[in-house]
Amino acid sequence: MARPPPKRKPKKTMMTTTTTTTKNNNNNRFRGSAEGRSAYFARREAANVLKKVLQGDARRRAVGSIKTLVYAPSVRNKKATFALVCETLKYLPVLKDILPEAGVLMTGKWKRHQELIYVTAYDMLFGQKSSVIEGGGPVEKYLAVREKTILKSLAQLLVRKKIKCPEDLVLNGQPSVVRPRYVRVNTLKYDVSSAIQELEKICKVKKDDVVPDLLVLPAGTDLHDHPLVVNGSVFLQGKASSMPAFALNPEPGWKVLDACAAPGNKTIQLAAIMDGKGEITACELNDKRVLHLKDTIKRSGASNVTVFHGDFLGINPKDPLFSKIQAILLDPSCSGSGTSIERLDHLLPSSEVNDAGKANNDRIWKLASFQKKALAHALSFPAVERVVYSTCSLHQMENEDVVMSALPLATSLNFNLVSPFPKWPHRGLPVFEGSEKLLRTDPAEGMDGFFITLFVKKREAKKKTRQLIPYPYKMHAWLRLHKVGRKKRGRKI
């Protein structure tokens, strides 16, 4: 009788064993403390943000500010990531100096990880130090092998600079400006009194004296993870940034165009001003910023906003989709010089060039050229009655000069300059007649530096005048009837 063939182990068992081994290897990487694991992931999140920041700064076309990128929903450990990004940027010139001398090369496979190398090197030299190696990955191990050489390069740099403390290598370029935390209540979802009641559980709250629905909180109040912020009941928005939409002040039921809409804070503010009635078209060209815009709109609950993914300058004003637009908010790309403190631009590599008196005038000239075209385009829409042009720039070239270039066209189309916020103390630079109707905000007063201009078509002003003030002949007719009525009543009595 023939022997039966020997039984073989099923392949399934081998695959299960392999999978289990892989999981064990992944767990072995994080056998360190919870602090070590947290630092490991924070460094990687910081490296992703740092990469976007440096790429945007090099191209002079930032996807968003440091804060915007750090506080995106995809970043989990926001506080640690924000600190790592800011500190790494602060020490970046030092790291770029000492790492090549220590043999840390940004070539080959390490070139893809250069931002993570910068973040980890900062953490190893000036930050967590002990937790860098604990539970570390390939980059941590790569730098750990060269730690003594890196420290030696740092010591040599201190000797060359005649400095005793490594912290003295870093210029403290961050201005000491204390600014309150502004919060705008999203009245599409929540009411102001409820927001005040809820926020007063953690800090003092008061209403702003200029912008409705804007609350003022103590400086340094961190609300990024607060439930009201997460669910879109309130939005973290500066006072100056909240003023352009309120200056436009479209009526409920109007058709409105936000010409350069992302990230969308002004768009949803317009929706709230209009009580969710009417139609708002939010125009944005950049692919990544469109995603951010859609996320903001979704979180706000605004149902009357449609996103137009395209170029504002490419829109035909006579197109039936846009020919009935009544109000336009134009807040185009600008140098951002008025928000450089809030955006932490002083930490970027390009700020060193600007501080040395070599500001990128070519870039500002190109921005101003685009802004002039955009403003002229906004004024050309046939049914538009109100246009707000605003920037977060301090440069005359992007502000008064742009408005001055559009005045002949505006006059020919029956537009007048109207003063938004008449009691506001800071006005436009006196470079042309009527510049006192323009508005500026002063960064020295705890706000971002904004510039706001309001154009109003004359026929709208006439329409409102007819509603409020009777014509003379109507007034006389009313008086005659009134006197006749009194005489008749007198005879009857």
Bind-site residues? 260-266, 284, 311, 331
For residue 261 the two structure tokens come to 């809409």
From start to end of 8-163, where are the E strands?
none
| Residue 63 DSSP SS3 | coil
371, two tokens: 């802004």
**Binding site as annotated, residues for S-adenosyl-L-methionine:** 260-266, 284, 311, 331
CA-to-CA dists, residue 491 to 144, 340, 486, 488, angstroms: 109, 77, 9, 5
C-alpha span between 387 and 411 (Å, rounded): 13
Instruction: Give the Å distances, CA to CA, from 30 to 42, 78, 144, 462.
Output: 14, 21, 17, 72
Q: How many CB atoms lie within 10 A of CB 119?
A: 29
Token pair recorded at residue 11: 């392949």
> Furthest-apart CA pair in the chain: how many Å?
141
Residue 115 CB neighbours (<10 A):
22
**Cβ-based neighbour number of residue 177 at 10 Å:** 13
46 neighbors 119 (Cβ within 8 angstroms): yes
- What 8-state DSSP symbol labels residue 387? E
CA-to-CA distance for 295 and 343, rounded, in angstroms? 21
**Active-site positions?**
392
Structure tokens at 364: 């500002």
What 3-state DSSP class applies to 279? strand
Phi and psi at residue 123, in whole multiples of 5°?
A: -60, -35
